């Protein structure tokens, strides 16, 4: 064999040795990685606490990176505080009512949808027409959950919070008056008591507005029943025009300025019997 042939043969042998060594190293390396993966899987399966710890740390790291990118801390549970629902998820009848109220009172359909669903649910339990409950909310507050009257009636259904504070105890206290669903539930309870005490719906509405001992209620019951009738038509699938929302009712019929404080005191006294 010539010198050049020996050189070529030597180079081939050298290259073959390198390739073989590389194969063995990578083969052994993959085997080690495979064993490590198998070991990790077995360990995590046998020790779910370790898996949970690892997942928690990974999630925490991802949330931290996300917060740094957004410039604010994530609150994945914030949606639980929102009183809202997708109107398209409601039954057809309820969705129609929600959209109609949304247009008339110029509020978003999502929070209205949540209130409509709650009104139908509590109406079924209490044997009260849910459209009546919604009509009272409409006339009382125009669906403003933060509304407050001069005499202390608060929230969607304008419940006298100071008088009916006991009814809020199961909801964490009087501040729950500004939670829309809680105010709705307490308002329905007060309405039930008023109707039972008065003996009829129209008379019960007069009690509800605090005009039980007055000659009239300032047209309150008439407004509620008119809105109730419109909502019943909407729920029945009829086309009902959207009118300008009525002015939020006065607590009692117009009186001279010097008599108004007395009338307001009478309302508190009358409602305090419930």
| Residues 246-257, mean pLDDT to the nearest whole number | 47
Domain ranges of the chain: 3-70, 87-271
Q: What is the pLDDT of residue 75?
A: 67
Q: What is the mean pLDDT of residues 110-116?
A: 97
CB contact at 8 A, 97 and 234:
yes
Provide mean pLDDT across the span 194-218.
92
CA gap 217, 212 in Å, rounded: 8
Q: How far is CA 39 from CA 24, 30, 34, 44, 242, in A?
A: 22, 14, 8, 9, 68
- Confidence class of residue 38 from pLDDT cuts 50, 70 and 90? low
The H-or-E segment that residue 159 falls in is strand 159-160
3-state secondary structure 34-83: HHHHHHHHHHHHHCHHHHHHHHHHHHHHHHHHHHHHHCCCCCCCHHHHCC
Q: Is 254's pLDDT higher than 70?
A: no
171 alpha carbon, distance to own chain's centre: 16
Is the pLDDT at 35 greater than 80, yes or no? Answer: no
pLDDT tens digit sequence for 147-204: 999 999 999 999 999 999 999 998 999 999 999 999 999 999 999 999 999 999 999 9
What six digits make up the tokens of 227? Answer: 């809105």
**CATH class of the domain whose range is 87-271:** mainly alpha
Percent of the chain with pLDDT over 70: 62
**CA 52 centroid distance within chain:** 30
Tokens of 16: 């073959």
- Asked if the model's pLDDT at residue 9 lies above 90, the reply is no
């Amino acid at each position: 064999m010539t010198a050049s042939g020996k050189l070529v043969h030597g180079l081939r042998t050298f290259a073959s040795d390198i390739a073989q060594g590389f194969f063995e190293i990578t083969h052994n390396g993959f085997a080690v990685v495979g064993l490590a993966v198998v070991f990790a899987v077995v360990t995590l399966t046998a020790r779910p606490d370790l898996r949970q710890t690892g997942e928690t740390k990974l999630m925490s790291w991802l949330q931290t990176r996300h917060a740094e990118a957004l410039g604010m801390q994530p609150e994945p549970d914030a949606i639980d505080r929102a009183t809202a629902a997708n109107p398209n998820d409601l039954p057809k009848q309820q969705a129609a009512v929600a959209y109609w109220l949304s247009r008339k009172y110029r509020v978003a359909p999502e929070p209205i949808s949540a209130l409509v669903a709650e009104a139908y649910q509590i109406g079924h339990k209490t044997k009260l027409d849910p459209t009546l409950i919604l009509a009272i909310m409409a006339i009382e507050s125009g669906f403003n959950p933060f509304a407050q009257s001069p005499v202390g009636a608060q929230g969607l259904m304008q419940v006298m919070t100071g008088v009916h504070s006991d009814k809020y105890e199961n909801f964490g206290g009087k501040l729950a008056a500004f939670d829309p669903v809680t105010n709705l539930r307490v308002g329905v309870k007060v309405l039930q008591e008023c109707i039972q005490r008065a003996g009829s719906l129209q008379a019960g509405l007069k009690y509800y507005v605090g005009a039980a001992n007055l000659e009239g209620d300032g047209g309150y019951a008439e407004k509620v029943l008119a809105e109730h009738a419109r909502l019943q038509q909407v729920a029945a699938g009829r086309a009902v025009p959207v009118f300008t929302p009525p002015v939020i009712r006065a607590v009692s019929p117009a009186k001279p300025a010097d008599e108004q404080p007395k009338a307001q005191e009478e309302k508190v006294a009358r409602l305090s019997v419930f």
